[in-house]
């Protein structure tokens, strides 16, 4: 019973982590006003990408907190170190080449959860074959 709960918890954490950046087709002003995403990835005209948390608009400037390079993961505390500058930044909307938001990736989630289940079933089956009374 404990093993089932543990596996379910692990699969839930992994499934929640299956996200990817999706490029938006609407202008940054419209995206932030309508969707109000918690974070966006901005591609500047030179090709540099910056991840911005809590994006907001002030006149023709996109403001937010630079979290580029922040590590993601299930672990917390000293094991999950932040590498991003974590500073307030702003970009003129005219310098933005593209903008992307994070979305769940159903295909990746299905593959990861399916892989975990397949490995679990394989391990359980091999353990059953290894027992003294089992005939495989």
CATH number for the domain spanning 72: value is 3.90.70
In a domain, 133, yes or no: no
Give residue-wise pLDDT tens across range 23-47: 999 999 999 999 999 999 999 998 9
N- to C-terminal Cα separation, the chain: 25
Q: How far apart are CA 46 and CA 48, in angstroms?
A: 6
In a domain, 27, yes or no: yes
In a domain, 34, yes or no: yes
Count of structural domains, the chain: 1
What is residue 80's predicted lDDT score, i.e. its pLDDT?
A: 46
Q: Which of 37, 32, 22, 38 is nearest to 91 (CA)?
A: 32
Token reading at 42: 């901005």
Q: How far apart are CA 49 and CA 68, in angstroms?
A: 8
What is residue 57's predicted lDDT score, i.e. its pLDDT?
A: 93
In a domain, 108, yes or no: yes
Angle subtended by helix axes 106-130 and 2-16, to nearest 10: 160
What is residue 120's predicted lDDT score, i.e. its pLDDT?
A: 80
Give residue-wise pLDDT tens across range 45-93: 989 999 999 999 998 999 999 888 665 554 444 444 455 567 788 989 9
In a domain, 123, yes or no: yes
In a domain, 134, yes or no: no
In a domain, 135, yes or no: no
In a domain, 120, yes or no: yes
What φ, ψ does residue 86 adopt, rounded to 5°? 55, 45
The whole domain housing 19 covers 2-128
CA 123 to chain centre: 29
């Amino acid at each position: 019973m404990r093993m089932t709960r543990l596996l379910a918890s692990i699969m839930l954490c992994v499934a929640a982590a299956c996200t990817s950046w999706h490029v938006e087709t609407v202008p940054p002003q419209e995206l932030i006003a309508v969707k109000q995403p918690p974070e966006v990835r901005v591609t500047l005209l030179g090709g540099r990408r910056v991840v911005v948390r809590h994006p907001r608009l002030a006149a023709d400037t996109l403001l937010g907190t630079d979290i580029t390079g922040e590590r993601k993961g299930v672990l917390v505390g000293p094991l999950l170190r932040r590498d991003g500058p974590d500073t307030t930044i702003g970009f003129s909307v005219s310098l933005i080449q593209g903008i992307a938001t994070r979305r769940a990736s159903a295909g990746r989630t299905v593959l990861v959860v399916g892989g975990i289940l397949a490995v679990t079933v394989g391990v359980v089956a091999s353990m059953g074959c290894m027992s003294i009374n089992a005939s495989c």
